[in-house]
Every structure is written in C-alpha cells, then in structure tokens.
Structure 1
Amino acid sequence: MADQHASVRYLVDDVQAAVDFYTTHLGFTLNTNVAPAFADVTRGHLRLLLSGPTSSGARATPDDAAGAGRNRIHLIVDDLDAEISRLRDAGLSFRSDAVSGPGGRQILLADPAGNLVELFQPADRS
C-alpha cells in the first residue's frame, strides 16, 4: 500500500478558511491547495481532504448527506485544559463542554464549515 495515511474527507464551504483553521490552530501541515475546490492537510498519519463545493468529492455526495453530522475526527492531545485555553484565546468556541469518561477527557469544536473535531486526552494509566 503506497499511502501510509488514513484519509478523511470533510465537505467545506470555504477551502481556504478550512486550511487556515487546521494549519493555524490544530497543527496540520498543508500538502495541496487548489482552492476554491480542494486542499489536503496532514497531521501524523491522518490526511484530511478538504473538499469545496466545486470539488468532485462534494459533487458526488447526495444532498441529503451533505451536512455536517455527528461523525468527527479524533485528535489526541497531551493537555486538554491547555488546548482549550489556547484555542479560546485564539477566539475559537467549542460545541460542547469538556466531559470525562473511563478512557479520558474530551471536548468538541467545529471547523468553519461546522465539521466536528474531538480533542481527546487519554486517561492516565500509570
């Protein structure tokens, strides 16, 4: 297998705004940018395909499936409280409060198109 990334496609209204969001706030690296149609960014082994309204990926999606849903990408962070503070200081707002469970703590924020991003700090297992 040539590509060592797991790829996820997010439909976005504004490709450049999405690129700016992911690269500025969440540590992604820009690979390809052919805005306004498409861009892709990576973080570790995750390749995020950002498809604007004129991209083939967006055109192939049925209208009743095009809205942002409950699915989300899951990004592991070392210090959730520090990330929350950093992102709030950058003017971002969250879609949920931080919640704790047996596996750790998480919070949701949305990209400029409303796609969800989960920031997750695993529970300390030591």
Structure 2
Amino acid sequence: MATVRYFAGDVDASVLFYTRHLGFALRQQFGPNMAILDRGDLTLWLAGHQASASRPMPDGAIPEPGGWNRFVLEVTDLPSFVTALQDEGVSFRNTMIEGPGGRQILCMDPSGNVIELFEAAAS
C-alpha cells in the first residue's frame, strides 16, 4: 500500500472532490485540517494550513499545494471519464495525450494538486 500526502487549501472541498469525482472513500477526518482517504491500495492524506505537516521548514519555506509531483489513477475508457469530469466542472492542466504506453491527462483538485489519469494501451 502506498501513502501520498497532498497539501490542501480547503480540506473539506478536497475531500468532496476526491470522494465525488475520483472514487476515494473517506476513512477519517480531523476537523478542517487533516483527512485520510483510501482508493484501492492508495491512501491519501490531505493536510490543511494548520496541520503539523504545514509548519514552516527551518529555512522559512512553507509547504503549499500544487506543483508537478502527482500520483496516477488508472482508469478504463479515459475519454468518457474525462467528459464526465468536465461536465462536473473539474479543471484540467492539459489535453489528453497518447503515447506507446497509453493515454493520459492531468486534472487538478481544488487546491491545484495534479492527478494523472491514465488508460493503458491495449495489449
């Protein structure tokens, strides 16, 4: 099982996004500052502004959402999945691309964290 931590500007909005659009289940929430969600073998920790993981680093840098690191969710029928998300107002960072391994697109959660949606090429 893998665990990923994402920083969230609004933990409640992020919980709603991941459970409503991407099939995660809420395991536990600690007020407005921390939530733990599961999807298969992936555990996602969402940390808000007051979570201990959000404390400034020794050099003064403050952890924040966004960036290019991401986890990958494998889906079937990526075009239909993307259309359904677009109909629900989910934001995307790019358009779908296709390569020898399959198709992919990057969607964003409410805090700007990136999730790669991937459909493997038929073998």
* Coarse TM-score class (shorter-chain normalised): over 0.9
**2:20 counterpart letter in structure 1:** T
Give the CA deviation at 1:58.
1.5
Match of 1:58? 54
RMSD: 1.4
Q: 1:13 aligns with which of 6, 9, 15?
A: 9
SS across alignment from 2:90: coil
What TM-score results when the alignment is normalised by the length of structure 1? 0.90
Verify the 8 A CA contact 2:11 2:35 in the aligned structure 1. Answer: yes
Q: Percent identity?
A: 45
Runs of 5+ unmatched residues, structure 2: none
Match of 1:109? 107
SS across alignment from 2:91: coil
Q: 2:24 aligns with which of 23, 28, 51?
A: 28
Give the CA deviation at 1:109.
0.7
Match of 1:43? 39
Q: 1:71 aligns with which of 46, 69, 72?
A: 69
SS across alignment from 1:9: strand
SS across alignment from 1:48: strand
Superimposed CA distance per residue, residues 7-56 of structure 1 (whole angstroms, 9 cap, x where no aligned partner): 00000111000000000000000001113110010100000000001001
Verify the 8 A CA contact 2:55 2:63 in the aligned structure 1. Answer: no
Count how many residue pairs are aligned between Structure 1 and Structure 2. Answer: 121
What TM-score results when the alignment is normalised by the length of structure 2? 0.92
Q: 1:60 to 1:32 in 2, by over 3 A?
A: farther
**2:80 counterpart letter in structure 1:** A
Q: 1:60 to 1:49 in 2, by over 3 A?
A: farther
Give the CA deviation at 1:65.
5.2
